[in-house]
Amino acid sequence: MSHAKKVGAALDSFWGRVRARSSDLPEAMPEAWAFGATPEHADDLLALVLAGTKTGTASALWDIEADDESVPEVGELSIILDGRGRPRALIETTAIDIVPFCEVTAEHAHAEGEGDRTLAAWREIHERFWQEHGRRGFALEMPVVCERFRLLFDVEDEGCVSVSGDESPGTSR
């Protein structure tokens, strides 16, 4: 079986398990993606999500536009992949703010869960990230999409929360 078919089968299986645990989810599978720019970064950030430490993320609006993607919307679901492309979690976007890099708040920096969770650490980490991986580099005034989310499903413990916010039977979250 080709890698693409294995990934597709894994996504189908994951989505089937999630929907079986929470019937209020849509039939259509949401977009699947990984955090970060490398497999190691994806795994590190996923671990923070699964631990409940990371409840926010940031994207450069410039990169979203360059990739002809749409800005996430409140209520949007995403399947989060690990560094090997395996589905590991389902999140729901709970808030979106688009602000210049220099106006990202300490609250948002803390929600991202990286480093010591301070705004200073967030700025250092993200400036370096966008300098290395951003489509248009980095600028203090660049628009940043600050996304907040909640974990709905964790493949590690098969825990699942319904979209309405009620816990499904047998869950740990």
Q: For residue range 142-172, list pLDDT tens digits in order.
A: 999 999 999 999 987 665 544 444 333 332 2
% of the chain with per-residue pLDDT over 90: 82
What is the reported pLDDT for 158? 61
Q: Which residues contact 104 (CB under 8 A, 6 or more apart)?
A: 58, 119, 122, 123, 126, 144, 146
CA distance 166 to 101: 35
Tell me what pLDDT residue 163 has.
45
Q: What is the pLDDT of residues 6-24, one digit of tens each?
A: 678 899 999 999 999 988 9
Statement: residue 102 has pLDDT above 50: yes
Looking at residue 159, what DSSP letter applies? Answer: E
pLDDT for position 156: 79
Q: Coil, strand or helix: which one is 167?
A: strand
Residue 114 confidence (pLDDT):
96
Would you state the pLDDT for residue 3? 57
Using DSSP's 3-state secondary structure scheme, residue 96 falls into strand
Cα–Cα distances (Å) from 28 to 5, 16, 25, 156, 168, in that order, read: 18, 11, 9, 23, 20
Looking at residue 166, its pLDDT comes to 39
Strand locations in 16-162 (E): 31-33, 56-60, 77-81, 87-100, 143-154, 159-160
With H, G, I as helix, E, B as strand and everything else as coil, classify residue 4. Answer: helix
Overall average pLDDT of the 45-58 stretch: 97
> What is residue 57's predicted lDDT score, i.e. its pLDDT?
98
Centre a 10 Å sphere on the Cβ of residue 144 and count the other Cβ atoms it contains. 22
The C-alpha atoms of residue 103 and residue 83 are separated, in whole angstroms, by 30
The per-residue pLDDT for range 107-142, each reduced to its tens digit, is: 999 999 999 999 999 999 999 999 999 999 999 999
